[in-house]
Structure 1
Amino acid sequence: MRSLFLLLPALLLMSACQGAAVQPDYDTSRNFADYRTWQFAEPAVSSLPENDPRLSGELISDRVKDSVANQMELRGLRPPVANQEADLKVKTYLMIENRQDNVSTSFGGYWGTGWGGFWGGPSIQTQRVDYKELILQIDMLDASDGKLVWRGSEGETLSDRPQSPVKRDEQINRLVGKILGSFPPN
């Protein structure tokens, strides 16, 4: 029971960190209105660490590619017609990073009412919480010169519990939506 009280603030703190807006990086000298077509660069989805069964494989790769394709379509970018080169090449990366956070809980203090109360003195306990974060990064390269023109990334705490395919779809769609919500930049 005590560990539950220690874990609850940690979860609240981590969920609060997820609300921050994605801050992409991009080449300010590029006119993003000139980009009308896109396609995936090879490989379309890379994972770090490589061969991690949670990240590699056709199922997760297809989820990422489908979600990116849907978001690009929403932004008016289309795949090129046959025998035509795309304006943008898109690369995606799935990464798992180990994270740590310090969580402090306080307990103790005043008990009772009025003048008959008791002061027990507060106590603060700090505990380190280790967790894993799933990070999705999307890079866009100008197809004519191969240079990176836009990059966005977003992460979420990776659940220790097995996820259903529906939950995995939701997580990927949520991450891609957050990342590409700030594309194009101008």
Structure 2
Amino acid sequence: MRAIKIFLLGLLFGACSVAKVDYDRNTDFSHYRTFNFYPEMNSGLNQLDEKRIVVQTETFLAGKGFVKSDSPDMYVNIFSRQYETPNNSSVGIGIGSGGRGGGVGISGGIPIRSNSTTQEITFDLIDAGKEELIWQGISEVKLGNNSSPEAREQAYKKVVEKVLGKYPPGKK
């Protein structure tokens, strides 16, 4: 039952947009086998969320055959931009009166839910030897302001899978 609740919360609060990718067409991506995180990474996330996305990234890349190394072929840099998304759901209340030749009306809206936070998360893959950007993926995640740790973890897992699932270019 708990797994179903987490899944539903993930669907409700963890909706992701389509991942956008860009890359250097002259790069041979088959040479990259090891990774580590960029030494001066400043993700813009709080420590808990940064840890969640780093763990999900490590797990995903290991599943694709990459090995974490102190002397990597490529660095992973993650950063985010976040903004509040206003909620447009409300209940309208109105009072009206009218007659021949005149009328009075009052109305208002009461919000049903609170605003949510949208995070645009960018993954940069950098050639460690050249210090050059070789691949970039961007996606968004929407989180309710009261999202549970489990829902946040699931949302970040989906972002990592959606974005890094498009690496290397040309493979599905």
Counterpart amino acid of residue 75 in structure 2: K
Q: TM-score normalised to the size of structure 1? A: 0.63
Deviation at 1:137, TM superposition (A): 1.0
Distance 1:135 1:87, change over 3 A: same
Aligned to 2:168: 184
Q: Which residue of 1 aligns with 2:110?
A: none
Is the Cα–Cα contact under 8 Å of residues 17 and 139 in structure 2 kept in the other structure?
Answer: no
Aligned residues of 2:16 and 2:159 also touching (Cα < 8 A) = no
Distance 1:100 1:33 in 2: 43
Structure 2: runs of 5 or more not aligned = 1-11, 90-114
Within the candidate set 45, 51, 60, 1:71 is matched to 60
Instruction: Determine the C-alpha separation between the residues in 1 that align with 2:25 and 2:41.
Output: 25
Answer whether contact 1:90 1:138 (CA < 8 A) is retained.
yes
One-letter code aligned to 2:127: D
Q: 1:133 aligns with which of 118, 121, 130?
A: 118
- State yes or no: 1:36 paired with 2:33: yes
The code of the aligned residue for 1:21 comes to: V
Residue 134 of structure 1, CA deviation:
1.3
Q: Distance in 1 between matches of 2:49 and 2:17?
A: 25
Q: For the residues of structure 2 that align with 1:37 and 1:149, how far apart are their CA atoms?
A: 14
| C-alpha RMSD of the superposition | 2.5
Identical pairs, percent = 24
The one of 24, 33, 50 equivalent to 1:61 is 50
Q: Return the alpha-carbon distance in structure 2 between the equivalents of residues 66 and 31 of structure 1.
A: 27
2:38 is paired with a residue of what secondary structure? strand
Q: Does 1:91 align with 2:88?
A: no
Describe the SS at the equivalent of 2:136: strand
Structure 1 distance, partners of 2:117, 2:147, is: 15
Cα distance in 1 for residues equivalent to 2:40 and 2:52? 15
Tell me the TM-score normalised to structure 2 length.
0.68
Residue number in structure 2 paired with 1:163? 147
> Aligned AA for 1:174?
K
Which of the pair has the greater relative contact order for Cα pairs under 8 Å at 6+ separation?
2
Kindly provide the CA deviation profile for residues 30-72 of structure 1, in whole angstroms up to 9, marking residues without a partner as x: 000010100011234520xxxxxxx322x22211110010111
Describe the SS at the equivalent of 1:141: strand
Asked whether the equivalents of residues 24 and 152 of structure 1 are also in contact (C-alpha less than 8 Å), the reply is: yes
Q: Indicate conservation of the 8 Å contact 1:141/1:149, yes or no.
A: yes
Give 1:19 deviation, angstroms: 6.6
After superposing on structure 2, the runs of 4+ consecutive aligned residues of structure 1 that deviate more than 6 Å are 100-103
What is the CA distance between 1:132 and its match in structure 2? 3.8
- Structural mapping, 1:80-119, within 5 Å: 80=69, 85-98=71-84
- Report whether the alignment pairs 1:152 with 2:150: no
